[in-house]
Structure 1
Amino acid sequence: MTVLVLTSEQDVTADMVVAQLHELGVPLVRFDPGDLPGDVALSAEYVRGEFRGYLSTGGRVASVEAMRSVWIRRPGEAAAHAPEPSAWLTDESGHALYGMLDSTAARWMNHPSAAARARRKPWQMRLAHRSGFPVPATLVTTYPAMARKFAEQYRHVVVKSVSGKSPGDPPMALPTTLVPPDADFSGVAAAPTLLQRYIAKSADIRLTSVGCTHLAARKTAEAGQVDGRFGETGHTWEPVDVPAPVARAVERYKKEAELAYGAFDFAEDADGTWWFLECNQGGQFGFVELETGQPIARTVAEWLAAEPTA
Structure 2
Amino acid sequence: MVCVIGLDNDKTLAHFLSTAPSGDVDFLNLHDLAGAGWRFPVPATADVTAPCVLDPRDAYYIRIVDLSPVLPEPEASRWRAMTMGITAFLESAPGVVVNRPGGHAHNAAKPLHEIWLARRGFAVPPAISTSDRDEIAAFIDRCGGAAIVKSLCGVRGDAQRVTRQSFEDFVDEQGPVHLQRIIEGFDIRVHLIGTTAHAERIVADGIDYRMRDVPSQHAPFAMPQALIDRMVDASRAMDLAFTGWDFKVDADGTFWCLEVNPMPGYDSYDRRADGAISRTLLDYLKSHAVH
TM range (shorter): 0.7 to 0.9
Q: How far 1:301 sits from its partner (Å)?
A: 0.9
1:276-310 deviation per Cα after TM superposition (whole angstroms, max 9, x unaligned): 11111112222112223360011111111123469
* CA distance, structure 2, for counterparts of residue 204 and residue 56 of structure 1: 47
1:213 pairs with one of 177, 190, 196? 196
* CA distance, structure 1, for counterparts of residue 20 and residue 44 of structure 2: 31
Q: State the match for 1:198 in structure 2.
A: 182
Tell me: CA distance 1:141–1:29, structure 2 relative to 1, closer, same or farther (3 Å): same
* CA distance, structure 1, for counterparts of residue 33 and residue 10 of structure 2: 18
Q: State the match for 1:286 in structure 2.
A: 267
1:42 pairs with one of 13, 35, 38? 38
* CA distance, structure 2, for counterparts of residue 230 and residue 214 of structure 1: 24
How is 1:116-131 mapped onto 2 (pairs within 5 angstroms)?
116-131=105-120
- Is 2:21 aligned against 1:5? no
Q: State the match for 2:94 in structure 1.
A: 105
What amino acid sits opposite 1:105 in the alignment?
Answer: P
How is 1:134-145 mapped onto 2 (pairs within 5 angstroms)?
134-145=123-134
Q: State the match for 1:53 in structure 2.
A: 47
* CA distance, structure 1, for counterparts of residue 84 and residue 222 of structure 2: 42
How is 1:1-310 mapped onto 2 (pairs within 5 angstroms)?
2-23=1-22, 25-32=23-30, 34-39=31-36, 41-44=37-40, 51-53=45-47, 62-65=53-56, 67-77=57-67, 84-87=74-77, 89-114=78-103, 116-155=105-144, 156-165=146-155, 174-181=157-164, 183-184=166-167, 186-201=170-185, 203-222=186-205, 225-232=206-213, 234-293=215-274, 295-308=276-289
Tell me: CA distance 1:287–1:153, structure 2 relative to 1, closer, same or farther (3 Å): same
What amino acid sits opposite 1:84 in the alignment?
Answer: P
Instruction: In structure 1, list runs of 5 or more residues that go unmatched.
Output: 166-172
Kept in 1, the 8 Å contact 2:129–2:176? The answer is yes
Q: How far 1:244 sits from its partner (Å)?
A: 2.3
1:64-101 deviation per Cα after TM superposition (whole angstroms, max 9, x unaligned): 23x422212253437987983234x3443233222233
1:114-139 deviation per Cα after TM superposition (whole angstroms, max 9, x unaligned): 26434332222012112222111011
* CA distance, structure 2, for counterparts of residue 233 and residue 126 of structure 1: 30
Kept in 2, the 8 Å contact 1:118–1:124? The answer is yes
* CA distance, structure 2, for counterparts of residue 16 and residue 30 of structure 1: 15
The alignment partner of 2:38 has SS state of strand
* CA distance, structure 2, for counterparts of residue 184 and residue 79 of structure 1: 31
With normalisation by structure 2, the TM-score equals 0.85
* CA distance, structure 2, for counterparts of residue 255 and residue 123 of structure 1: 18
What amino acid sits opposite 1:103 in the alignment?
Answer: S
What amino acid sits opposite 2:28 in the alignment?
Answer: R
The alignment partner of 1:306 has SS state of helix
Q: How far 1:8 sits from its partner (Å)?
A: 1.1
Tell me: CA distance 1:54–1:278, structure 2 relative to 1, closer, same or farther (3 Å): farther
What amino acid sits opposite 1:220 in the alignment?
Answer: V
The alignment partner of 2:278 has SS state of helix
With normalisation by structure 1, the TM-score equals 0.80
* CA distance, structure 1, for counterparts of residue 282 and residue 49 of structure 2: 21
Instruction: In structure 2, list runs of 5 or more residues that go unmatched.
Output: none
- In angstroms, what is the RMSD of aligned CA positions? 3.0
Tell me: CA distance 1:270–1:285, structure 2 relative to 1, closer, same or farther (3 Å): same
Q: How far 1:261 sits from its partner (Å)?
A: 0.8
Kept in 1, the 8 Å contact 2:243–2:260? The answer is yes
Q: How far 1:207 sits from its partner (Å)?
A: 0.5
Tell me: CA distance 1:45–1:113, structure 2 relative to 1, closer, same or farther (3 Å): closer
Tell me: CA distance 1:35–1:56, structure 2 relative to 1, closer, same or farther (3 Å): farther
Q: How far 1:229 sits from its partner (Å)?
A: 1.5
What amino acid sits opposite 2:59 in the alignment?
Answer: S
Kept in 1, the 8 Å contact 2:91–2:100? The answer is no
Q: How far 1:104 sits from its partner (Å)?
A: 2.1
* Matched pairs, number: 289
Tell me: CA distance 1:103–1:74, structure 2 relative to 1, closer, same or farther (3 Å): closer
Q: How far 1:221 sits from its partner (Å)?
A: 2.7
